[in-house]
Amino acid sequence: MQTIDVALADRSYSIHIGANLFSRADLLVPHLPRPKAAVITNTTIAPLYLDEFLASLRRQEVEAIPVILPDGEQYKTWQTLNLIFDALLSKHCERSTTLIALGGGVIGDVSGFAAATYQRGMPFIQIPTTLLAQVDSSVGGKTAINHPLGKNMIGAFYQPKLVIADTAVLSTLPDRELSAGIAEVIKYGLIRDFPFLEWLEENMEALLRRDPAALGYAIARSCINKAEVVTADERETGERALLNFGHTFGHAIEAGLGFGTWLHGEAVAAGMVLATDLSVRLGLLPASATARVTNLLQRARLPIAYPDNIPADRFISLMAHDKKVDAGKIRFVLLKDLGHAFLSDDAPESAVRETLTQHTIAHA
């Protein structure tokens, strides 16, 4: 087991990374104010891991209350949030009850928002079961639900007490979900860790075949990058916004197609190509950079363009609803070089439209 610390004063916590950790309830118990926990999961994860996880808690004499939600980005809503509140209230959960998220990014985001708001805050533990959640969404305290006009528009910053990333559960992850997670891994290399980008170029096939050593290294390196950024800028007033590379475009793709049509990582992959292309058009990067990014994403079996049924006007309108809009201007995360990102709010709309025009694919 490898442990990475997120240093946030009284909100500090550890990320444990290793195989066969999710049923190690002894790792969780020291973080429970009292021996009672609500375990939030979904209809996909529950048949695979819920019984074993509940049994491990009960062996530690923890009262465990399962809450099983529908699976999918389209359920990241107020209605689903209320299902959690209904369960917590009906089981007489107090603010000293710990809420444990056992699932991917949707479960982590919705559960975290529930924990932040139920009785004005209850302890929260993340046990992410997808690669994307392990390397990104479970770390840093961003919690949210979606709105029809934008992704993650309603939420709170609320740090977990602990994150456990079990590499063994990735064995049951569908190939498409694995690739979606790799998109967020690639992001770290592109925005701040060029040596890691080079490592990914050399080891992509090992990741795709789920080589344990390669996966463990990629998860740890990603979490180290995320922890450093979050420690420096917990509430995204500066550097942390760079973690949104590809996301302004990607969130528009998700909203434009309907949440759940594309996986988040797939939309981010296409978004990273668009952001790289825009950087080239603004004279920040050589044209070869787009080819290099595109090649790596293709090797990861990820999309490199977006469906042509989102017209440019609609696309730009959706980006205008993004959380990173400031004083009415869309803020893009662009690249000065591979491994060096920055924020810009002065990209001409004409250049954005040219980028959008050049990277469409026929929709089904």
Q: Of these residues, 76, 142, 221, 359, which one is catalytic?
A: 142
Question: Is residue 269 within a helix (H) or strand (E), and if so which, with residue range?
Answer: helix 264-281
CA-closest candidate to residue 144, choices 165, 103, 119, 115: 115
Q: List pLDDT tens digits, range 214-241.
A: 999 999 999 999 999 999 989 888 889 9
**What's the pLDDT at 314?**
95
Are the beta carbons of 12 and 5 closer than 8 angstroms?
yes
Catalytic residue status for 11? no
**What's the pLDDT at 119?**
97
User: Residues of the chain whose pLDDT is less than 50?
Assistant: none
Catalytic residue status for 363? no
**What's the pLDDT at 37?**
98
Catalytic residue status for 142? yes
Q: Of these residues, 192, 247, 281, 331, which one is catalytic?
A: 247
Catalytic residue status for 31? no
Angle at alpha carbon of residue 290, lines to 288 and 294, rounded to 5°: 120
**What's the pLDDT at 236?**
86
Q: Of these residues, 184, 187, 254, 266, which one is catalytic?
A: 184
Separation between Cα atoms, residue 254 and residue 265, nearest integer Å: 10
**What's the pLDDT at 362?**
85
According to DSSP, the β-strands at 2-6 and 124-128 are unpaired
Catalytic residue status for 240? yes
Separation between Cα atoms, residue 76 and residue 305, nearest integer Å: 25
What are the chain's domains? 2-171 (3.40.50.1970), 175-361 (1.20.1090.10)
Catalytic residue status for 226? yes
**What's the pLDDT at 274?**
98
Catalytic residue status for 59? no
Q: Of these residues, 76, 161, 226, 359, which one is catalytic?
A: 226
Catalytic residue status for 236? yes
